[in-house]
Amino acid sequence: MNERLDSLLRRYGEVSLMIQEPELVKDQNKYRALMKEYAQLGAVNAAYQEGEELTAQIEDTKSLIQDEKDPSMRELARDELRDLEQRRADAEDRLKFLLIPKDPLDEKDIIMEIRAGTGGDEAALFAADLFRMYGRFAEARGWKFEIMSSNETELGGFKEIVFSISGDNVYENFRYESGVHRVQRVPATEASGRIHTSAVTVAVLPEADETEIDIRQEDLRIDVMRAGGPGGQCVNTTDSAVRITHIPTGVVVHCQDEKSQIKNKAKAMRILRARIYELEEAKARSERAEARKNQVGSGDRSERIRTYNFPQNRLTDHRINLTLYKLDLIMEGDAAELFDALKLSAREEMLQSPKFTAQAETAAS
């Protein structure tokens, strides 16, 4: 038996006993962590047990075929055997996927940045549309959503908007959104009805805890200034806007949405921490990358990943050659099919790497 599978099944037995201890409920953090681990390990155990049961049924059916004298009964048994073998193959595939170690980043909250690219006002309007789409997807799952910084245009678009999303496995769902999103549609500002092409860039940053990124105060240059924008009470009349520069990396963050300088500084530090964390993660990924790129993409925000064609109600993800004719629904937040396809493709790609192929095949045998 594969060592990883054996280890996971052993741990499942241990956790099964631990969650029955009466004292556990007194420590709610530990209780939640163990219940989450129990659910994850339970999926592995269920796939393994299903495979074992189907293997036993297959052997029984093969014996029946050999011993049965009635030709019609043998034919029925052969049909049943084909069905059992297909079900076992499905269970083996599930087990292979479950044996792939989870990326520890998958459970992290995120900070997402959307910026208008080529296309002027139309790009800014589409940036606002993407922001609403991500927000509705998050809201449907009960995730917390907070705007960190924004630069709105007169037409209601965004030159740039930065926001955070927190909840269960947020990064796992949004991690493949980094890149260039191209839109083809008739702009609201276009009188002649011609289709225009514009683009926005998206960056998805796993949010880092203070303990994960050590930012020294002497490495920061903090400037305060009057907030820009449309104005309003206190805005443009107090030095509430904050710009923080991380001198070693050159990363600059600007926040002005809050009336309080303290709140703007706190938000800016969260964004700064996430950007520096993402830089370090990108460097680590590059160092351990294989010769070929991941099929789903590198997460590079310069990579064109998707086209949104409104006249045809079509969305195409170029990394996995997926086309969906439900763009109207996706823009309303019904994006689960898209995100699930990207996650599945990434897991399938990982299965092809030498590191996991032999391991998964051994576990399923």
Q: 40: buried, middle or exposed (CB in 10 Å: 19+, 13-18, 0-12)?
A: middle
> How many domains, the chain?
2
Question: Could you tell me the two tokens for 268?
Answer: 């800016």
Task: Examine the domain organization and report whether 93 and 113 are in the same domain.
Answer: no
Pairing between β-strand 304-309 and β-strand 251-255 as defined by DSSP bridges: unpaired
**Domain-ending residue, one of 69, 99, 129:** 99
Residue 84: pLDDT band (50, 70, 90) is very high
Residue 138 domain-assigned? yes
Tell the residue number behind the tokens 């989450």, with chain if given.
36
Give the pLDDT confidence score for residue 336 in this predicted structure.
93
Residue 15 domain-assigned? yes
Residue 33 domain-assigned? yes
User: 197: part of which helix (H) or strand (E)?
Assistant: strand 196-206
Domain residue limits at 143: 104-348
Task: Examine the domain organization and report whether 47 and 171 are in the same domain.
Answer: no
How do residues 275-309 score in pLDDT, each as one tens digit? 898 888 877 766 555 433 444 554 455 678 999 99
How do residues 183-230 score in pLDDT, each as one tens digit? 999 887 676 678 889 999 999 999 887 767 888 889 999 988 877 665
Contact between residue 74 and residue 62 where contact means Cβ atoms under 8 Å apart? no
Residue 17: pLDDT band (50, 70, 90) is very high
Residue 100: pLDDT band (50, 70, 90) is confident
Q: In terms of Cα–Cα distance, which of 11, 45, 331, 1 is closest to 181?
A: 331
Task: Give the best-scoring range by mean pLDDT among 62-76, 253-267, 312-326, 348-362.
Answer: 312-326
Give the pLDDT confidence score for residue 131 in this predicted structure.
97
> How far, in Å, CA of 311 to CA of 319, rounded?
22
Q: Is 248 helix (H, G, I), strand (E, B) or coil?
A: coil
Task: Examine the domain organization and report whether 237 and 134 are in the same domain.
Answer: yes
How do residues 304-323 score in pLDDT, each as one tens digit? 899 999 999 999 999 999 99
Q: Identify which has the larger pLDDT, 283 or 130.
A: 130
How do residues 31-70 score in pLDDT, each as one tens digit? 888 998 898 899 999 999 999 999 999 999 999 888 888 8
How do residues 137-175 score in pLDDT, each as one tens digit? 999 999 999 998 899 999 889 999 999 999 988 999 999
Give the pLDDT confidence score for residue 285 in this predicted structure.
67
Task: Examine the domain organization and report whether 79 and 218 are in the same domain.
Answer: no
Task: Examine the domain organization and report whether 170 and 319 are in the same domain.
Answer: yes
Alpha helices in the chain (DSSP H): 3-18, 28-67, 71-99, 121-140, 170-174, 261-288, 327-330, 336-352, 354-364
Give the pLDDT confidence score for residue 232 in this predicted structure.
44
Give the pLDDT confidence score for residue 23 in this predicted structure.
87
Residue 26: pLDDT band (50, 70, 90) is confident
Residue 364 domain-assigned? no
Question: Could you tell me the two tokens for 61?
Answer: 């059916």
> How far, in Å, CA of 34 to CA of 80, rounded?
39
Task: Examine the domain organization and report whether 142 and 27 are in the same domain.
Answer: no
Residue 301 domain-assigned? yes
**How far apart, in Å, do the first and last CA atoms of the chain sit?**
8
**Domain-ending residue, one of 46, 65, 99:** 99
Mean pLDDT, residues 326-343: 94
Task: Examine the domain organization and report whether 244 and 327 are in the same domain.
Answer: yes
Contact between residue 61 and residue 80 where contact means Cβ atoms under 8 Å apart? yes
- List, in order, residues 6 or more apart from 38 with CB less than 8 Å away: 12, 15, 16, 19
> How far, in Å, CA of 321 to CA of 299, rounded?
17
Task: Examine the domain organization and report whether 200 and 121 are in the same domain.
Answer: yes
Give the pLDDT confidence score for residue 353 in this predicted structure.
65
Instruction: Look up the CATH number of the domain holding residue 335.
Output: 3.30.70.1660
Tell the residue number behind the tokens 């796993």, with chain if given.
206
β-sheet bridge partners, residue 198: 183
Torsion of CA 87, 89, 90, 94, to 10 degrees: 140
**Domain-ending residue, one of 41, 76, 99:** 99
Task: Examine the domain organization and report whether 95 and 112 are in the same domain.
Answer: no
DSSP per-residue codes, 39-81: HHHHHHHHHHHHHHHHHHHHHHHHHHHHH---HHHHHHHHHHH
CA distances 104 to 7, 107, 208, Å, are: 18, 6, 12
Mean pLDDT, residues 238-257: 87
- Report the predicted TM-score, pTM, of the whole model to 2 decimal places: 0.72
Q: In terms of Cα–Cα distance, which of 354, 348, 356, 352 is closest to 296?
A: 348
Residue 169 domain-assigned? yes
